[in-house]
């Protein structure tokens, strides 16, 4: 007599159960971010009326880190407000990861779907990527299981290519997401060559498609970037793995380079032990799976879930990202990785913490398979207990994540005077001060956020790009700003400022950074709100 499933039902019902858990957990983390207004938190910023300016299109000389995301946001803004787009992306960056895993494992039973979805969503990795302000990067990670499903689906090659393209588009909104999607598609296509109806050239075709969806940021980089990556970026954005505690943190998906994005719980034994246990349990499933009875891993020919011979890929995803991230964090690995940043485009990979997302997904899949194996061998009661245990341990690995994210992501409305100041500047080339990339404003809540003004201005923006990252008791500065315009404004040389192409100067009030007194020849335009505007290309008004 066959044992009944933990939650009996069709594969579709199992997938829906896992998706429901994923969406519920995603909303548990992000519900305070839902409301009217924009989100302004670290790298995740937007303005009420984004425009297709040089900064958005990636033609202003900066590295195209938000190409084509900012352009897509600007194009959709008349139909879908930019704040709504942000909020959808924030929730989707978590929910889509769990839902994708549930769909991938739908023929393994509801228990496997629930476990995989919960482990992926409630992970230190997901929490720290959000706390560093990078939901777009997390969205690329969330599309990985969907890409695997698309590549493995049955049917005609044409439909398979279309499915891959649809799954890749959200990931391709950012350069790293596009590269990640390209790598996942090629590896999965190579692993799926044994499946019926596959053509030998399919991995090549899918690889060429992946190159195509990376073209927006590649072209922008070739046309607008003024320099290759900084060697200091390798050290600044390496994972933090100090001592045994740091290594365990990285092993569980933590260890992000930004201290402000670290979870306090990850500094203590319970959270570290919990996430380490999950990884060890996943590794145990990986080791024992090949020796399990054949019926424990048997699937139908139409199954899109992982096959026994795909365990090598899962094993590589479980181990290699962590090994690479730790190897490049210090010693000989860092010594080689730092000068390699001069290779154009390689700087996209300098944030090695992002690699750990693959380990998290592999852990989630393997734990789902483990619950399925327990169900088949020991019955539904044991499987239910194992499911509850895994969920509890996953939560223990990052218990303070929801509270931190609630504090970070809250919608805010731009103050009166913002739109008027932007309109005054028009399409002028603008120097933005104080000379640093991040701002703080009381109306935002006092948290730091990347200056969003370049997203609102139609002309070229001259602003600081240097990032300062605390490391090893000191600071690492990444970037090499051209301060010609800044120095001209500081010494009151308007002619030199005009020679540098600057026609307007905007300063943020009440924000960290040195406030420079305007020179006598600049014309101040009366504005309200946080922005002060001076026009350099027009003479001052003479009052009688």
- Structure confidence by residue, pLDDT tens digits, 404-435: 999 999 999 999 999 999 999 999 999 999 99
Lowest mean pLDDT among 288-292, 446-450, 514-518: 288-292
Average pLDDT over residues 119-134: 98
Q: Distance of alpha carbon 157 from its chain centroid, rounded? A: 30
Lowest mean pLDDT among 43-57, 112-126, 187-201, 326-340: 187-201
pLDDT at 296 exceeding the cut of 80: no
pLDDT at 185 exceeding the cut of 50: yes
Residue 258 region by backbone torsions, left for phi larger than 0, else alpha for psi between -120 and 50, else beta: beta
- Whole-number Cα distances in Å, 105 to 36, 96, 116, 173, 368: 36, 14, 8, 26, 8
pLDDT at 254 exceeding the cut of 70: yes
- Structure confidence by residue, pLDDT tens digits, 149-163: 999 998 888 999 999
Indicate the pLDDT class of residue 473, thresholds 50, 70 and 90. confident
pLDDT at 519 exceeding the cut of 90: no
Instruction: Find, among 152, 73, 97, the residue nearest to 361 by Cα.
Output: 97
Give the DSSP H or E segment for 349.
none
Average pLDDT over residues 422-450: 95
- At residue 500, the pLDDT reads 93
Q: Please give the torsion angle defined by the CA atoms of residues 410, 357, 12 and 293, in that order, rounded to the nearest 10 degrees.
A: -150
Lowest mean pLDDT among 36-45, 194-203, 270-279, 436-445: 194-203
- At residue 104, the pLDDT reads 96
Average pLDDT over residues 362-387: 94
- At residue 60, the pLDDT reads 80
- At residue 161, the pLDDT reads 94
pLDDT at 38 exceeding the cut of 80: yes
Burial class (CB in 10 A: 0-12, 13-18, 19+), 396: middle
- At residue 303, the pLDDT reads 47
Q: Which residues of 464-495 are buried (b: 16+ CB within 10 A; e: fewer)?
A: beebebebeeeebebbeeeeebbebbeeeebe
- Structure confidence by residue, pLDDT tens digits, 258-285: 999 999 999 999 999 999 999 999 999 9
The two structure tokens encoding residue 512? 């960290």
**337: Cβ contacts below 8 Å, ≥ 6 apart:** 234, 238, 328, 350
- At residue 225, the pLDDT reads 56
- At residue 458, the pLDDT reads 95
Q: What is the mean pLDDT of the chain?
A: 90
The two structure tokens encoding residue 79? 């139909």
């Amino acid at each position: 007599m066959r044992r009944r499933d933990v939650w009996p039902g069709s594969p579709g019902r199992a997938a829906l159960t896992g998706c429901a858990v994923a969406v519920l957990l995603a909303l548990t983390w992000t519900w305070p971010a839902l409301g009217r207004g924009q989100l302004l938190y670290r790298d995740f910023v937007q303005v009420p009326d984004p425009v297709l300016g040089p900064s958005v299109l990636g033609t202003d000389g900066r590295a195209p880190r938000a190409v084509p995301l900012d352009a897509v946001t600007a194009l959709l803004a008349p139909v879908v407000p930019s704040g709504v787009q942000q909020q959808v992306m924030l929730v989707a960056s978590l929910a889509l990861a769990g839902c994708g895993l549930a769909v991938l494992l739908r023929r393994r039973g509801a228990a496997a779907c629930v476990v995989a979805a919960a482990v992926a969503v409630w992970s230190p990795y997901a929490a720290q990527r959000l706390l560093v302000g990078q939901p777009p990067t997390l969205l690329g990670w969330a599309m990985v299981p969907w890409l695997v499903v698309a590549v493995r689906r049955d049917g005609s090659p044409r439909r398979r290519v279309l499915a891959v393209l649809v799954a890749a588009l959200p990931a391709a909104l950012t350069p790293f997401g596009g590269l990640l999607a390209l790598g996942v598609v090629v590896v999965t296509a190579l692993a799926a060559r044994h499946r019926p109806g596959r053509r030998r050239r399919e991995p090549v075709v899918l690889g060429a498609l992946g190159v195509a969806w990376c073209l927006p940021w590649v072209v922008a980089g070739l046309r607008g970037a003024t320099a290759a990556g900084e060697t200091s970026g390798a050290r600044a954005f390496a994972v933090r793995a100090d001592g045994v505690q740091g290594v365990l943190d990285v092993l569980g998906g933590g260890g992000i380079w930004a201290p402000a994005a670290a979870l306090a719980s990850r500094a203590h034994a319970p959270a570290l032990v919990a996430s380490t246990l999950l990884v060890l349990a996943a590794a145990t499933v990986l080791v024992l799976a090949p020796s399990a009875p054949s019926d424990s891993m048997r699937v139908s020919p139409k199954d899109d879930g992982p096959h026994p011979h795909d365990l090598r890929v899962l094993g590589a995803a479980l181990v290699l990202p962590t090994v690479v991230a730790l190897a490049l964090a210090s010693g000989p690995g860092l010594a080689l990785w730092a000068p390699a940043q001069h290779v154009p485009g390689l700087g996209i990979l300098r944030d090695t913490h992002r690699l750990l997302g693959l380990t998290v997904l592999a852990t989630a899949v393997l734990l789902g398979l483990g619950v399925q194996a327990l169900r088949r061998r020991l019955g539904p009661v044991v499987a239910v207990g194992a499911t509850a245990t895994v969920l509890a341990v996953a939560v223990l690995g990052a218990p303070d994540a929801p509270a931190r994210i609630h504090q970070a992501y809250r919608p805010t409305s731009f103050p009166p005077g913002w739109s008027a100041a932007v309109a005054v500047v028009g399409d002028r080339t603008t120097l933005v001060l104080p000379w640093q990339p991040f701002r703080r404003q009381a109306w935002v809540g006092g948290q730091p956020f990347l200056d969003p003004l370049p997203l609102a201005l139609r002309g070229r923006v001259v602003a600081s790009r240097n990032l300062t990252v605390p490391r090893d008791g000191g600071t690492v500065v990444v970037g090499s700003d051209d301060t010609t315009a800044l120095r001209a404004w500081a010494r009151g040389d308007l002619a030199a400022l005009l020679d540098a192409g600057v026609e307007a100067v905007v300063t943020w009030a009440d924000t960290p950074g040195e406030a420079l007194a305007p020179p006598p020849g600049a014309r101040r335009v009366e504005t309200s709100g946080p922005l002060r505007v001076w026009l350099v290309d027009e003479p001052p008004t003479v009052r009688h």
